[in-house]
Amino acid sequence: MVKISVLKLSNKRVVDSDGSEMGILHNIVAESNTGLLRELVVRPSDELDASKFKEEDGYIFIPFDAVSAVKDVIVVDTQKIRVRA
């Protein structure tokens, strides 16, 4: 497994598996007792329908287990994104 510094992820573009722009990574939520990464905090793009996501203070939250690749952009698997009920 390749290690990536969180600082290198800051302000990275987030796209879904179809290549559609979701937004820009703002922060990452981790569990304090285990250190496991739980969610990406993303500043949504203007084109994204953010109403389908958990949202707070203008940011959307994407479960970290939906991340399928991290390279020039962060790719999230649309099948694993849980929409807000």
Residue 80's pLDDT band, with cuts at 50, 70 and 90, is: confident
Task: Assess if residue 83 is contained within a domain.
Answer: no
The CATH number that applies at residue 64 is: 2.30.30.240
Residue 9's pLDDT band, with cuts at 50, 70 and 90, is: confident
| Cβ–Cβ under 8 Å, residues 64 and 81 | no
Q: Which of 13, 17, 20 is closest to 49 using CA atoms?
A: 20
Task: Assess if residue 12 is contained within a domain.
Answer: yes
The larger pLDDT score, comparing residue 10 to residue 73, is at 73
pLDDT digits (tens, 9 = 90+) for 29-77: 999 999 888 999 999 999 998 888 999 999 999 999 999 999 889 999 9
Full residue range of the structural domain in which residue 67 is found: 6-76
Task: Assess if residue 33 is contained within a domain.
Answer: yes
- Tokens (6 digits) for 5: 């510094």
- Residue-level pLDDT at 2: 65
Structural domains in the chain (count)? 1
* Distance from C-alpha of 5 to C-alpha of 68, rounded to nearest angstrom: 17
Going from the C-alpha of 28 to that of each of 18, 39, 41, 61, the distances in angstroms are 22, 6, 6, 9
